[in-house]
Structure 1
Amino acid sequence: MSLLQTRALTRHFSGLKAVETVDFDLPEGEVRALIGPNGAGKTTFVSLLCGRIPPTSGQVIFDGRDISALPAHRRINLGMAYTFQITSVFANLPVAENVALAARRREATSAGVARAVADALERVGLGDRGDQNAGDLSYGHQRLLEIAMGLAQAPRLLILDEPTQGLADAEIAAFKALVRELASSTTILLIEHNMSVVMETADRVSVLNFGQILAEGTPAEIRANPAVQAAYLGTA
């Protein structure tokens, strides 16, 4: 069963067709990568899924429910969590408190929050950074902190937009392992330029180009697709 669907999802900006009649299905339990050239509409598409911007037309359906008109915070309450290309941590708060703010969406007790914070930070490799101000972290570690904030909400769907941007090679390797671990309990939509991450972690790949789905398939099928090679992989 699909956890997330879109039907004819469309967003225009003053005549620019950023996303155009996209039909998309993400089954529960799958790791799906979304790739495509710069300007293909990936971030706009994700913003439509999360409720940051409204669609011009079409539907976003989560767990069988039309959520097209719901604001972002209501979608979070339904079990969606996301990180964006631009970090959005609270720079003047400690790392642990950033995660605690997210954990309080689902944990009713201080003990429950503390457990969720400790677990999330440990899973992303920031277990020893809890007392450090978030603004003092490197950019790459801020990205990991955002992922921890998402994990602390125990989401049914975790949307990660360029999560490995700014990470060192060792941190990228750890991120791949984290995605494989999370896949047993969380549906993941991964927007990523690093093709090594895409090919090693995704069950299936969707390719967006000029605001439309160009191709979908397994990593191997996408790598061998001539249209994808011409539009993206051949120049990546």
Structure 2
Amino acid sequence: MLLSVRNLSKRFDGLHAVKSVDLDLPEGEIRALIGPNGAGKTTLVGMIAGRITASAGSVIFDGEDITRLPAHRRIARGMAYTFQITSVFARLSVAENVGLAARRHLHGAKARKAVAEALDRVGLGARAEQEAGDLAYGHQRLLELAMGIVQHPRLLILDEPTQGLSEGEIEAFQSLIRNLAQETTILLIEHNMRVVMALADRITVLDAGRVLAEGTPEEIHANAAVQAAYLGGGDAQAG
């Protein structure tokens, strides 16, 4: 099992944002994490990635307890996390942003080659010299994805990656994720249920900080509790 989360919990000043979550993610799987606004999805992946300190519980990655490791140590072990809100360096070029991420593993000509390949994969090859801050929001999300890809992670965590993308870009994104799944394990927070149902091998549903259900897309779509909590209102939105 690549990732195992046990009894993971987080309290913020009396608010119990995540409550005793267990999660097992096998290598090579695309796992979607869905749920209503305020369900605790971003808090949960923040704890997995080491950007939020857990109040209780454990995170095991590739057989090692990493619960107390800082985020940069988790990155060194093979995690990459793209944020719900973009975190690019606006005054640097698109290529320079990806180059900063690549330097954790590569240098010189190998790094430049990896940067070019990552940008081509997300469709930003022609924008390599553009300032990142001048990109449209959706393209900044794709730049973040390139920054994750270039690290060749064992686990790629994506937080609402299709936000701000056009329909055509979403189609290209889905093709890219299917391709990436041949190389890495993917944990995906996504509000677009068409994307979730098309991509996920399995889905974990959070509600009020707890795991409400887990299963294949077909099982989740047919789950009455999920319908009541999340899917019943039409187009689902996550937060």
1:55 aligns with 54
Q: Is the aligned partner of 1:168 residue 2:130?
A: no
Residue number in structure 2 paired with 1:117: 115
What is the rounded CA distance, in whole Å, between the counterparts of 2:219 and 2:88 in structure 1?
37
Q: Structure 2, unaligned stretches of length 5 or more?
A: none
Query: What does 1:41-190 align with in structure 2 at a 5 Å threshold?
Result: 41-107=40-106, 109-190=107-188
Number of the residue aligned with 1:36: 35
**Which runs of at least 4 in structure 1 moved beyond 2 Å after TM superposition?**
none
CA distance in 2, matches of 1:202, 1:112: 32
Distance 2:113 2:226 in 1: 44
Match of 2:22?
23
C-alpha distance in 1 between matches for 2:201 and 2:75 = 24
Deviation of residue 14 (structure 1)?
1.5
The residue identity in structure 2 corresponding to 1:163 is: P
What amino acid is aligned across from residue 31 of structure 2 in structure 1? R
> What SS is found at the alignment partner of 1:7?
strand
- How big is the shift at 1:74? 0.4
Q: Alpha-carbon deviation of 1:16?
A: 1.1
Q: Note if 1:9 corresponds to 2:8.
A: yes
Shift of 1:213: 0.5
Post-superposition shift, 1:15?
1.6
Deviation at 1:89, TM superposition (A): 0.2
Could you tell me how far apart the structure 2 residues matched to 1:53 and 1:167 are? 27
**C-alpha displacement at 1:105, in angstroms?**
0.7
- Count of paired positions: 234
* Amino acid aligned to 1:26: L
Structure 1: tracts of 5 or more residues without a match = none
Displacement after TM superposition at 1:77 (Å):
0.3
Q: TM-score, normalised by structure 1?
A: 0.98
CA distance in 2, matches of 1:88, 1:14: 26
Secondary structure at 1:128 match in 2 = helix
Which residue pairs with 1:203 in the alignment?
A: 201
Identity rate, percent: 69
What is the Cα deviation at residue 39 of structure 1?
A: 0.2
Give the 3-state SS of the residue equivalent to 1:232 in structure 2.
helix
